[in-house]
Amino acid sequence: MASIDRFQIVKEPELKVIEHWFEDEDTRRRMDGMLPLDVWYERVNQDEDNTVIMAYDGQLPAGMVVMEFVEERAYIGLIVNPLCRFQGYGKQILKKLLGDPDFNGVREWVACIEEDNRISLACFQAAGFTLEDTEPDEDGFLTLIVRI
């Protein structure tokens, strides 16, 4: 069963692990704005409002979460390790994140997901996120929110 036992801030050496995830066609298609990964990482790592963490099940890097904090709101992006998909890891990562005491100041979690990304939409909804609007924005994204 999927289980997340810890989060860890992503450091440069872990980018090699994440880079392999982009060999997966779906990851590459959905998250290509992060490529090249080292340039993206340098940019987000320099912004104090951004945090990039890796979620682990034991020694297995199960997923990566990118968060941008704006006051009491956190915008969240999630990539599940392609080897861990369809096993409940995405939902477990999100649930553990929502309950993590390190993020007690967050009152609203927001995810913007492409309308056709049914797997991600179902994952976030299973973790308690609800659709803000049933119509996508002008870029084709649906907004899902959890208010705490």
Domain boundaries, the chain: 6-147
- CA separation (Å) from 71 to 51, 57, 75, 88, 106? 14, 30, 11, 30, 8
The pTM for the full model equals 0.94
CB within 8 A of 120, min separation 6: which ones? 30, 78, 90, 111, 113, 114
**Predicted pLDDT at 2:** 86
In which band, very low, low, confident or very high, does the pLDDT at 10 lie, cut at 50, 70 and 90?
very high
Mean pLDDT on 67-77: 97
108-114 sheet: strands from edge to edge: 6-9, 50-57, 60-70, 73-80, 108-114, 141-147, 130-131
| Average pLDDT of the residues of the chain | 95
Residues near 49 by beta carbon (within 8 Å), at least 6 away in sequence: 68, 69, 70
pLDDT band of residue 93 (cuts 50, 70, 90) is very high
> CB-based contacts of 62: which residues, under 8 Å, 6+ apart?
2, 4, 55, 56, 80, 81, 84, 89, 92, 93
Residue 1 pLDDT more than 80?
no
Asked if residue 78 lies in contact with residue 67, where contact means CB atoms within 8 angstroms, the answer is no
The answer, yes or no, to whether residue 31 has pLDDT greater than 80, is: yes
Quickly state the pLDDT bin for 61 (edges 50, 70, 90): very high
Query: What pLDDT shows up at residue 69?
Result: 97
Q: For residue 74, give every residue at least 6 positions away whose Cβ sits within 8 Å of its Cβ, in sequence order, or none.
A: 67, 68, 103, 106, 108, 109, 110
Q: Is the per-residue pLDDT at 130 higher than 90?
A: yes
Predicted local confidence at residue 73, as pLDDT: 97
DSSP SS3 for 15: helix
Q: Which CATH number fits domain 6-147: 3.30.70.100, 4.10.520.10, 3.40.630.30, 3.20.20.70?
A: 3.40.630.30
